[in-house]
Amino acid sequence: MLMFFSDSSDEEDELLLLVAIEEEQAASEGQSRQRGSVPGHAVIDRGHCEGAARLYRDYFANNPVYGDALFRRRFRMTRRLFLRIAAAVEQHDPWFWQRRDATGKLGLSPLQKMTAAIRQLEYGVSSDAVDEYVQIGASIVMLALRKFFQAIVVLFSDEYLRAPTAEDTARLLAEGERRGFPGMLGSIDCTHWVWKNCPKAWHGAYTGHTRKPSIVLEAVASYDLWIWHAFFGMPGSLNDINVLHRSNIFTRLTDGTAPNVSYTVNGNRYDMGYYLGDGIYPEWTTIVKAIPAPRGNKSVHFSVMQASVRKDVERAFGVLQSRFAIVRGPARVWDQNTLQNIMTACVIMHNMIIEDENNSASTEQVFDFMRETTTVHRDPNQGILHYVEATQAIRNRAMHHQLREDLVEHLWSLHGTQ
């Protein structure tokens, strides 16, 4: 077994690649015709070792051909983040290790496999499109993609798909108050991923206003485009309200495990945070919408401010799709579980890129997830009573209108004279 991420020097790595290339050339010269294990299937001598050496020189050597700027442009992330992900994936799944086969021929390097997988996610291309540069066949590329996003989901979900901790909630509340919306935790919206290879029998359930089968992603994003909530898998025939009723976005509020939230707006005190949403969402305490057909300077000003701040989630969708073109184009996968893992892996890496590129102290701290894990012991009857009370508080229309009126007055007191 030969692992790429070792303690050897760059000279030793290059020497190892050169020796492997010479061995591969010597073995190929002694064979006039190659046949695969299936009769009539020819084996393509792609030159795996030459491809590994070229990839290493181009992007991962001490003085690479393409510098940091081009690496960031083509891999959608910095080199240090890519190497961090690659090292974790290689340690998690032995399939990414570099080995020799039964004939002694050196196999694919971990960087080749991961580059082939991540370029499919980033460019949305087919498996054949990465063969000419990375020198990997289509079947191995598809297997590398599947194993890569499965490893991403297993390794990084707890950290990068976490619900806001107490520290996260305090930071989000402070930023919301700075922008004129005390108590705001982010913006909520849905987007559709067109499903090209949806089975014919499911077209009726998955076809909505887009006139094509699609799957819905419900997300909550904050000012820095971090996606705090991602609920994916609902059929495209459902609208945002139907998806909201099926998602788990308010589960921690109903079971009493959400961080405490307390803020004051226009002299009134509230103990439940909210998200900004568009006009389709219901009139709940936890969702603040713009005023339909606003009249008067105060209402117009509030609607303009609410629409501008609510665009955080729209921006997050745009950045996610620009970084990972596979979720922008039609999905060519046949099963829902694979689509679920692909979307989840893209959201995780989106958050990892935000953390890597953000130099603020809030994203450089080390989070203690075990400290945030609490076990709540309640009497079953009390648990049901708390659930009913919390659900009624979440869906209180009167509180929704009062909160919105207080926000109208609060924003006008901040910016009305301007």
- Residue-wise pLDDT for 144-203, tens only, equals 999 999 999 999 999 999 999 999 999 999 999 999 999 999 999 999 999 999 999 999
Residue 103: its pLDDT value, please?
75
Same domain, yes or no: 311 and 352? yes
What is the distance of C-alpha 226 from the center of its chain? Answer: 9
Percent of the chain topping pLDDT 90: 62
In a domain, 315, yes or no: yes
In a domain, 2, yes or no: no
Same domain, yes or no: 142 and 190? no
- Reading the block at residue 227, the tokens are 């996606």
Residue 3: its pLDDT value, please?
47
pLDDT band, residue 47 (cuts 50/70/90): confident
In a domain, 5, yes or no: no
H-state helical runs in 179-270: 203-206, 240-246, 251-255
Same domain, yes or no: 173 and 138? no
Residue position matching structure tokens 């713009």: 290
Percent of the chain topping pLDDT 70: 83
Sheet of 184-194, strand order:
227-235, 214-221, 184-194, 274-276, 287-288
Max distance between CA atoms of the chain, in angstroms, equals 86
H-state helical runs in 324-396: 336-357, 361-364, 369-372, 380-394
- Residue-wise pLDDT for 359-372, tens only, equals 543 444 444 433 34
Nearest-angstrom CA–CA distance, 266 and 268: 6
pLDDT tops 70 at residue 5: no
In a domain, 361, yes or no: yes
Same domain, yes or no: 250 and 398? yes
Domain termination site, one of 124, 158, 192: 158
- Reading the block at residue 410, the tokens are 């609060």
pLDDT tops 80 at residue 36: no
The pLDDT of 292-320, averaged and rounded, is 93
Helix (H) or strand (E) holding 90: helix 79-92
In a domain, 4, yes or no: no
Same domain, yes or no: 191 and 309? yes
In a domain, 1, yes or no: no
- Residue-wise pLDDT for 84-127, tens only, equals 999 999 999 999 998 887 777 788 889 999 999 999 999 988 88
Domain termination site, one of 128, 158, 188: 158
Same domain, yes or no: 90 and 185? no
Domain termination site, one of 112, 133, 158: 158
Please state, in angstroms and as integers, the Cα–Cα distance from residue 244 to each residue in 73, 219, 249, following that order. 36, 10, 8
Same domain, yes or no: 308 and 401? yes
- Reading the block at residue 254, the tokens are 């109903």
| Cα torsion through 318, 321, 322, 324, rounded to 10 | 150
Domain that holds residue 380: 166-415
HSE at residue 35, side-chain half, CA atoms within 13 A, is 4
Q: How confident is the prediction for the chain on average, in pLDDT?
A: 84
In a domain, 103, yes or no: yes
- What is the domain count for the chain? 2
Q: DSSP character for 296?
A: S
Q: How many CB atoms lie within 10 A of CB 279?
A: 9
Same domain, yes or no: 146 and 279? no
Residue 184: its pLDDT value, please?
95
The answer to whether 107 and 96 are in contact (CB under 8 A) is no
Nearest-angstrom CA–CA distance, 37 and 30: 19
In a domain, 229, yes or no: yes
Residue position matching structure tokens 């989070």: 367
Is 85 in a helix, a strand, or coil?
helix
Same domain, yes or no: 114 and 195? no
